[in-house]
Structure 1
C-alpha cells in the first residue's frame, strides 16, 4: 500500500481548550459528545467521513503540542492572539507492518508584538521538545512554525 495521510486541524478556543476537526471527517455536535470511529478508507471496508484511529493518533500529537505550548507560554508571559495547528499523520507499510511513521505539525501563532517573535519561537520549540505524546511515540515528529503579528497581513 502506498503512503496515506490523515489531516487534523486544531484551533485554540480559550483558556487551555481547543477544537479539533478534519477535512476528512463529517462530525456534528448533536451526537451527545460521542466520537464515531471506523476503519479508514485505505483499508478494506474502510468508511469515509468518520474519525479513524489514524486521525486520533495525529490529533493526540497536535493537541499535546497545543496544551504544552499554552502552559509554557503562560510561564513565559507570552501574549498571543491565536494558535492553530495543521497536523498531517503519515501511514505507511514498513517491513510488512502498517505504521504511523510521521506527524508533520504546522502551528500558526499570532502574537501581539513583533518584539515577541523570538520568545514565541522559543516557546513553540520548548513545547515541541516537552510534548509527552510526541516523546511517547516512535513516529518522527516534525514542526514548521508560522508566526504572525496581529493586525498585519
Structure 2
C-alpha cells in the first residue's frame, strides 16, 4: 500500500481595510501562510495585481517550492552516488502568462550552481540533475515544464 502524506496549512487574509471586499480597490491582498511548526510567511499578490512587493506572492512560492524540492532531491542523489557537494545556489525563474480568464505558468527554469569536492565528481554531478528532477515530488506534480540549466564547479578552482 502506498504511503500518503498530508500537508495542512492555514491561509489567513489580513487585508481588510474596514470595508471588506466592497470594491476591487477597497481591500488589501495581504495574508499570512502558516502551519504547525514553522513561522508564518507574510504573503500578498504579485504587485501587478495590487499586491505588496515586500511580501511573498503565490507565484514566487511555486518557483521556490520547485527549487527547494529539486535541491533536496539532488543532494540526496549526490550523497547516494558518492558525489560530495560543498555548495549549492539556484537562481530560478518562473514565467507566467496572463489570459482573459486568469493565467498559468508556462515554464520554470532552475539554474543551480553546484560546487563539488573534486574534478572526478563533476560529470556525475551534472548528470544527477535529471535523476533529481524525476524524484522531485513537486516537479512531477505540475502541468508545465521545469527545465534545468545547471553549472558545476570544483571547490578551489575558479569558475
TM-score class, shorter? 0.7 to 0.9
> Corresponding residue for 2:47?
41
Superposed counterparts of 1:3-152, under 5 Å: 33-43=39-49, 45-94=50-99, 96-152=101-157
Q: Which runs of no fewer than 5 residues in structure 2 stay unpaired?
A: 1-37
Instruction: Provide Cα deviations, 1:15-42, integer angstroms capped at 9, x if missing partner.
Output: xxxxxxxxxxxxxxxxx82210101111
Partners of 1:95 and 1:34 in 2: CA distance: 32
Partners of 1:95 and 1:125 in 2: CA distance: 35
User: How far did residue 62 of structure 1 move?
Assistant: 0.3
After the TM superposition, which parts of structure 1 deviate over 6 Å for at least 4 consecutive aligned residues?
none
Maintained 8 Å contact 2:114/2:152: yes
Aligned residues: 121
SS of corresponding position for 1:73: helix
Q: Which has the higher strand share?
A: 1
Partners of 2:69 and 2:75 in 1: CA distance: 10
Question: Larger C-alpha radius of gyration, 1 or 2?
Answer: 2
User: How far did residue 128 of structure 1 move?
Assistant: 1.7
Which segment is superposed worse, 51-60 or 71-80?
Answer: 71-80
Aligned-pair Cα RMSD in Å: 1.5
Partners of 1:95 and 1:114 in 2: CA distance: 51
